[in-house]
Structure 1
């Protein structure tokens, strides 16, 4: 109740110096708008990068044999999963959009006199990598469930090999049990994922062709796609309860995409620098404004204390003024950031791809409730801190000295 009763008085004090109050509010607003725009832009970049990484490489969740990701390259045939029928229950789980078996292998790819090493995967064209975000075809076409002895090449691998859609190639692999195995195949299309390193060596084939080539059944991993990335932890926990941990290992996309975690950490550190700059600007600007207000109202403060107003109440009044400036500036800053997000969406600005990645993205500003709450919190906290010393100085005035200012 005391705070509500104090509000009209605080607002009246600010309106007495409208120009100074507006300058203070807008200095906070522009700082908060800059921080919110930077925060929202990076949040959108993380979101777009995350979804593209999930759809094109890792899926939301992977089921493998234990320690496959650490030791599978050395002896991949020791980590084969059972037949696909064992994984049929995956499609019945809540939030599961689809799943697909993957069979990894490596070998040599030849076209004419050119021979290159590759890292390949067999997948089910009917259920896996079906969306444009998952598999971006830049030449040719996607694979269909009816395709046999047909492959997709990563952009970098196709460029090094000099291969184009409809070209004939030879795939050669080494099976530990049966020796060398080869098939003739045609290039259906050339794709581009989010990772340049992956595209430089990637080859995709229908999983039935991969099993025939390797003379095996089963797969190395089962990839699970969800309706929303936010449900990853819930579904992963359900899978850990459903499948025997001695036979199956469940890993989420963020456990597999280490480069994504490193990129997030880097940008968060950069955003911390932006926060510090905004914090310092508001702190200095509002501190100066509040100190000038204290100096101009010295006589008024002396009169208040002479009439019995406690020093604690004087301190609280000036802190409340600072908090109100922060609140108004924070709300105005969020409004400016929202207008900026509308403008950026309308402009459809295409950004270049980050280092080591192949895809650019359309710039957007993603203003979430978390970003808005953080911005308001920084605005109010910073202005209260900036008001702390002027408020303390006002509350510690000697009444007699302050009253002399009225003369």
Structure 2
């Protein structure tokens, strides 16, 4: 341990002696690490917002349905009705979890001279769609407990119908027996979600009104909402074990959100390209820095080996200098990225919606411990690798020739 400490102090002293060159290398590493953290943190923040909005508005963290509903339920929904209540022991779920039913409806909505098809979900307003991550209310209000003859419309559907909060629409749906269910409802709000396609055809109504229109008592799905998305897998096993698989199918959100999964893979591939560029910058900068250091310290290297230091110790010394450059540069880049994140939070920059998204979001950086560890390893391993050839060359010098070089 004292030997390692001495080696670290010696490496730091050598970096300080070559201050300008070391500073240039540190700035190069810091710039690369900052770029990587900003790109990764920006995408992480965007996808966290996208993920939570997808979960809260569409799938829940867990979704309980009849077997086969995910594949065939949209075309034949009435064959996959669940009971009005599910006996699920609340102790199976983490504290703060909620379970809420949804009933799917498709039909026609009319306002004035306009009649358009809609897709709808009956929800429990006391337990579902409670915050802006689920739905952002653009006009009016969201559904409230106690509502029955009220609906909220997607922004695109409201625009096509030319209706605003306060107007009344007529809903027409087919019941399971082939009869026609009709009701008049007041529009109390207009919402936007993350899906433009969803907003163009969707309306939400209280579960009581949905059941009255369809003349049924059940639900198509029961959604489990957790406080923490990271607890999804921990909750999945107990819920599946508690419900017979012949009658119930339990799926986690990530098995249902196909578009989110495809988009995540695409952005991960783009980030891999950024990581490759950062590694190249570090390799090029540190390799040049360490090679110049070896050339300038040739006489010193020869003297050190003449005093009894082994070639292996010379090699380790230069590799340690490279690793320290990577560590210090990563720390510098991390501080710069954290500062950029604070500036973004203060600026509250509103970003335009990505393709197929229906609403904007605030730019932010989400820097996680895993992300920090990853860039730290990239910086240290890359600088150590870049230092290897100069270090090996220094360790292979002939002592007499190295000492003669100083004259």
TM bin (shorter chain): over 0.9
Superposition map of 1:348-363 within 5 A? 348-363=348-363
The whole-number CA distance in structure 2 between the counterparts of 1:382 and 1:93 is 44
Query: 2:217 is matched with which residue?
Result: 217
Task: Determine whether 1:142 maps to 2:157.
Answer: no
User: Matched residue of 1:387: which SS?
Assistant: helix
The whole-number CA distance in structure 1 between the counterparts of 2:186 and 2:169 is 6
The whole-number CA distance in structure 2 between the counterparts of 1:12 and 1:181 is 83
Residues 281-307 of structure 1, C-alpha deviations (whole Å, 9 max, x = no match): 111011001000111111222222233
The whole-number CA distance in structure 1 between the counterparts of 2:11 and 2:92 is 60
Query: 1:323 is matched with which residue?
Result: 323
Residues 363-382 of structure 1, C-alpha deviations (whole Å, 9 max, x = no match): 11122111111121111111
The whole-number CA distance in structure 1 between the counterparts of 2:379 and 2:160 is 54
Query: 1:54 is matched with which residue?
Result: 55
Superposition map of 1:5-404 within 5 A? 5-84=6-85, 86-87=86-87, 89-90=89-90, 93-404=93-404
**Cα deviation, residue 149, structure 1:** 2.6
- Is the 1:28–1:379 Cα contact (8 Å) retained in structure 2? yes
- Is the 2:66–2:247 Cα contact (8 Å) retained in structure 1? yes
- Is the 1:172–1:181 Cα contact (8 Å) retained in structure 2? yes
- Is the 1:96–1:224 Cα contact (8 Å) retained in structure 2? no
* Alpha-carbon distance change, 187 to 300 in structure 1, aligned in 2, over 3 angstroms: same
**Cα deviation, residue 398, structure 1:** 2.1
- Is the 1:95–1:228 Cα contact (8 Å) retained in structure 2? no
* Alpha-carbon distance change, 406 to 138 in structure 1, aligned in 2, over 3 angstroms: closer
- Is the 1:25–1:325 Cα contact (8 Å) retained in structure 2? yes
Residues 88-137 of structure 1, C-alpha deviations (whole Å, 9 max, x = no match): 63487323432211000211112233221111111111221122322322
Which deviates the most, 317-326 or 125-134? 125-134
> Normalising by structure 2, what TM-score?
0.95
- Is the 1:153–1:187 Cα contact (8 Å) retained in structure 2? yes
**Cα deviation, residue 359, structure 1:** 1.8
The whole-number CA distance in structure 2 between the counterparts of 1:92 and 1:125 is 24
The whole-number CA distance in structure 2 between the counterparts of 1:347 and 1:148 is 41
Gaps of 5+ in 1: none
The whole-number CA distance in structure 2 between the counterparts of 1:205 and 1:24 is 61
User: Matched residue of 1:120: which SS?
Assistant: strand
- Is the 2:92–2:238 Cα contact (8 Å) retained in structure 1? no
The whole-number CA distance in structure 2 between the counterparts of 1:185 and 1:37 is 47
Which deviates the most, 359-368 or 318-327? 359-368
The whole-number CA distance in structure 1 between the counterparts of 2:231 and 2:246 is 24
**Cα deviation, residue 150, structure 1:** 2.2
* Alpha-carbon distance change, 335 to 145 in structure 1, aligned in 2, over 3 angstroms: closer
The whole-number CA distance in structure 1 between the counterparts of 2:241 and 2:88 is 16
- Is the 1:90–1:99 Cα contact (8 Å) retained in structure 2? no
**Cα deviation, residue 74, structure 1:** 2.0
**Cα deviation, residue 60, structure 1:** 1.4
**Cα deviation, residue 148, structure 1:** 2.4
Aligned length in residues: 406
- Is the 1:95–1:235 Cα contact (8 Å) retained in structure 2? no
User: Matched residue of 1:406: which SS?
Assistant: coil
The whole-number CA distance in structure 2 between the counterparts of 1:137 and 1:16 is 61
- Is the 1:137–1:192 Cα contact (8 Å) retained in structure 2? yes
Aligned Cα root-mean-square deviation (Å): 1.6
The whole-number CA distance in structure 1 between the counterparts of 2:150 and 2:91 is 27
